[in-house]
């Protein structure tokens, strides 16, 4: 069987769906000795970390609607592709073979007000109609499956939950020099909270800054907050600077757009508490990454996040700033609680694996093809 995989997410920085795809390709090629995989891109990509036996084909064309809906399916037809796997939402208008698509979440449908007008158009009724034409839909959580079946009116039997995992290199770092070095690199000189994710309305950062200011007043006057993430181009601006100034913490918040994977691992390991205040997630991968590195985690108690974090996190209502601040204070000052969260977090993170993900996805590939 020849499986065609859309790879345009690998044409930029490797986070989010790009890391998801790299892990999928790496681990499925380790266990699948029978099938051939072709990765399609619109321009040459960095092949670091990709399997050597993976075929990569470049369909030279500016990435636009015609590439995805015309050039890609025609190329797969020419190459004799038996099954198309789309790692992120898109199902071509032209369809010559069965398609399996991953829908990470349906934020666009649940909260359209969080997106600018042009992106609302892109994720229109036609877009979702094409998603429903896939032979099978993969979601990263039961919460996302329930959203897809309830809101998109898809039969539950057509949706398969396959959990993601942290990359294998996310392990605790205990070298004091390395931890001190990464803190110095980012201007951190004491205790710090850490949060990761694209700067987007749903990430709830303004409330986090308010809770951070309260925590500084009540338990840790020298506390700093490191916010890592690039601004999303498709959401209304998030006023981090203005909120920080309003609450008098503008000199205690540090911003970083992007760091290497090694620096990310060090930051997870070095932080005193990882905080994830998101209002809506399809999975919440940073939570598992932080746990894999031994960080205690405080996070939202909504959508997929409790499903992912289990009993290993401190929870709060993401709309309640005082409750969030209390969780932060407990996570910083209660050493017994911190140690329990660390241990349970490591155990929880180990229950997710990319090898298990690959095995379940490969089984789905075979199941779909048997029905054809």
Of 136, 18, 361, 202, nearest to 6 by C-alpha is 18
Residues 148 and 206 in one domain: no
Shared domain check, 278 and 130:
no
Pick the range with the lowest mean pLDDT from 52-61, 122-131, 160-169, 301-310.
Answer: 122-131
Residues 6 or more apart in contact with residue 176 via CB below 8 angstroms: none
Residue 170 lies in a domain: no
47 assigned to some structural domain: yes
| Structural domain total, the chain | 2
R_g (Cα) of the chain, nearest Å: 21
Distance, in Å, from the CA atom of 5 to the CA atom of 101, rounded to the nearest integer, reads: 10
Any idea what the CATH number is for the domain that residue 104 is in? Answer: 3.40.50.2000
Nearest in space to 136 (alpha carbons), one of 83, 74, 76, 72: 83
pLDDT of residue 124: 65
Could you read off the pLDDT of 30-39 as tens digits, one per residue?
A: 999 999 999 9
Whether residue 152 contacts residue 106, with contact meaning beta carbons closer than 8 Å, is answered with yes
pLDDT tens, position by position, 202-231:
999 999 999 999 999 988 889 999 999 998
Is the Cα torsion angle 59, 60, 61, 63 positive or negative in sign? positive
In angstroms, rounded to a whole number, what is the distance separating the alpha carbons of residues 324 and 207? 9
Contacts of residue 76, Cβ cutoff 8 Å, sequence gap at least 6 = 4, 38, 40, 84, 96, 97
Output the average pLDDT for the chain: 93
52: three-class secondary structure by DSSP: coil
Residue 171 in any domain: the answer is: no
Q: Mean pLDDT across the stretch 10-17?
A: 84
* 92 and 53, same domain (yes or no): yes
How does 347-367 read in b/e, with b if 16+ C-beta sit within 10 Å? Answer: ebbeebbbeebbbebbebbee
Both 54 and 181 in one domain: the answer is: no
**CA–CA dist 60, 43 (Å, integer):** 6
Q: Is the pLDDT of residue 121 over 50?
A: no
> Given pLDDT bands bounded at 50, 70 and 90, which one contains residue 123?
low
Q: Are residues 200 and 295 in the same domain?
A: yes
Residue pLDDT, tens place only, 47-85: 988 999 999 999 987 767 888 889 999 999 999 999 999
357 and 343 part of one domain: no
Half-sphere exposure at residue 191, Cβ-oriented, CA atoms within 13 angstroms: 16
**How sure is the predictor about 122, in pLDDT bands with cuts at 50, 70 and 90?**
low
The domain containing residue 6 runs over which residues? 2-165+353-371
**Is the residue at 73 inside a domain?**
yes
Give the CA angle between residues 64, 65, 71 to the nearest 5°: 90
> Does 25 map to a domain?
yes
Contact 111, 202 (CB under 8 A): yes
Residues 273 and 359 in one domain: no
């Amino acid at each position: 069987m020849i499986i065609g995989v859309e790879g345009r997410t690998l044409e930029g920085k490797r986070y989010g769906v790009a890391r998801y795809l790299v892990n999928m390709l790496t681990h499925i090629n380790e266990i699948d000795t029978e099938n051939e995989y072709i990765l399609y891109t619109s321009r040459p990509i960095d092949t670091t970390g990709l399997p050597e036996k993976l075929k990569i084909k470049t369909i030279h064309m500016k990435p636009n609607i015609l590439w995805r809906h015309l050039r890609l399916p025609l190329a797969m037809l020419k190459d004799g592709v038996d099954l198309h796997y789309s790692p992120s939402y898109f199902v071509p208008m032209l369809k010559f073979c069965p398609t399996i698509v991953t829908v990470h979440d349906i934020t666009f449908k649940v909260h359209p007000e969080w997106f600018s007008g042009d992106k609302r158009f892109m994720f229109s009724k036609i877009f979702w109609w094409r998603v429903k034409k896939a032979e099978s839909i993969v979601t990263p959580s039961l919460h996302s499956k329930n959203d897809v079946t309830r809101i998109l009116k898809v039969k539950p039997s057509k949706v398969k939950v396959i959990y993601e995992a942290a990359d294998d290199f996310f392990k605790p770092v205990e070298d004091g020099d390395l931890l001190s070095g990464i803190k110095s690199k980012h201007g951190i000189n004491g205790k710090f909270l850490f949060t990761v994710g694209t700067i987007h309305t749903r990430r709830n950062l303004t409330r986090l800054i308010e809770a951070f200011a309260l925590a500084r007043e009540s338990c840790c006057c020298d506390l700093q907050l490191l916010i890592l993430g690039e601004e999303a181009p498709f959401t209304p601006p998030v006023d981090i600077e203005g909120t920080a100034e309003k609450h008098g913490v503008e000199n205690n918040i540090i911003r970083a757009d992007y760091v290497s994977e090694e620096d990310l691992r060090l930051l997870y390991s070095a932080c005193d508490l990882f905080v994830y205040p998101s209002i809506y997630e399809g999975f919440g991968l940073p939570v598992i990454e932080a746990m894999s590195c031994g960080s205690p985690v405080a996070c939202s108690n909504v959508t997929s996040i409790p499903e992912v974090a289990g009993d290993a996190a401190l929870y709060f209502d993401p709309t309640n700033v005082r409750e969030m601040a209390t969780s932060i204070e407990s996570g910083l000052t209660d050493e017994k609680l911190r140690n329990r969260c660390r241990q349970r977090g490591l155990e929880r993170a180990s229950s997710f694996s990319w090898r298990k993900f690959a095995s379940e996805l490969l089984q789905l590939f075979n199941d779909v093809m048997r029905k054809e």
